[in-house]
Amino acid sequence: MLKRAGQDTLASTWSVILDRVSGLWMLCLIGSLGAALSAETLGKAFSIRPSVLAALALAVAALWLALPWLLPPVLRRWTGLGKRWVGPLRAAAERPDFSAQVGAQALASAAVQILSAAALAAGALALGVHLSPAAWAFAMAPIFLMAALPVSVGGWGTREAAAAATLALFGVDPAAAVGAAMVYGIYGLLQGALGAMAFGMPSPK
C-alpha cells in the first residue's frame, strides 16, 4: 500500500512538472519561429544578417520540436542516480501511444500560448500598438519567461521590463510597451477576482 502511494506521488509530481515544461517547451518553440519570421527586423537590431538569423532560429525550433521524441531512448538507458524517481516518466515514454500523447499535449500547449499572446496583443492594440503576428510570436517568449521568474509577485515588474526591451526592437515606445504589459497583468487580476468570487459563493443545496 505504501509502495503504491509512493508511486502515485511520483506520478503526480511528474504530471505537474511536465505541465510546466510543456508550456515552456511550446513558448520557446513559438518564439524561435517568431524570430525566424521577424529576421529582417531583428537582424537590423542585432547587426546580424537576416538569412543567418532565420537559419539559426529555425534550427533552434527544430531542436525544440524534436526534444520530446529524444526522451524515450534516453530513459531506456538511464541507470544513474534517481532511477526510481524517473520510473513513472519512463513508463509514460514507453507507452505505445506516447507520440499521440505528445502531439495532443503540443496542440494544447500551443493553444494556451497563442491565446496568451493574443491577450497581450489585444492589450497593446487598445493602446495603439500595432505589430504583426510574427512580432508577437517572438516577443511573447522573453516577456512571458521574464514574468515567470520567481523574483516578483505575479510577474509585475519583470514582465513590464521585458516588454519595454523586447518591443523596442520593433519600434514600440517604452511607455506603450509597459502599458500593454500592465493591461495583460490586469487580466490576471480580474481572473483571480472572479475565481475568488466563485469560491465564495454558497454551494447549491
Host domain of residue 20: 2-200
> Which pLDDT belongs to residue 144?
94
Instruction: Note the pLDDT tens digit of each residue in 14-65.
Output: 777 777 888 888 999 999 999 999 999 999 999 999 999 999 999 999 998 8
Q: Count of domains in the chain?
A: 1
Instruction: Note the pLDDT tens digit of each residue in 59-79.
Output: 999 998 888 888 777 777 766
Burial of 94 (0-12, 13-18, 19+ CB in 10 A): exposed
Instruction: Note the pLDDT tens digit of each residue in 102-131.
Output: 888 889 989 999 999 999 999 999 999 999
Q: Is residue 126 part of a domain?
A: yes
> Which pLDDT belongs to residue 1?
44
CB 58 within 8 A of CB 35: no
Query: Helices marked H in 77-132 — which ranges?
Result: 87-93, 98-126
pLDDT at position 191 over 90: no
Average pLDDT over residues 175-192: 89
> Which pLDDT belongs to residue 130?
93
Q: Is residue 205 part of a domain?
A: no
Burial of 29 (0-12, 13-18, 19+ CB in 10 A): buried
Average pLDDT over residues 180-189: 89
Backbone φ and ψ of 129, nearest 5°: -95, 120
Q: Is residue 175 part of a domain?
A: yes
pLDDT at position 3 over 50: no
> Which pLDDT belongs to residue 81?
59
194 membership: H or E segment, kind and range: helix 174-200
> Which pLDDT belongs to residue 203?
59
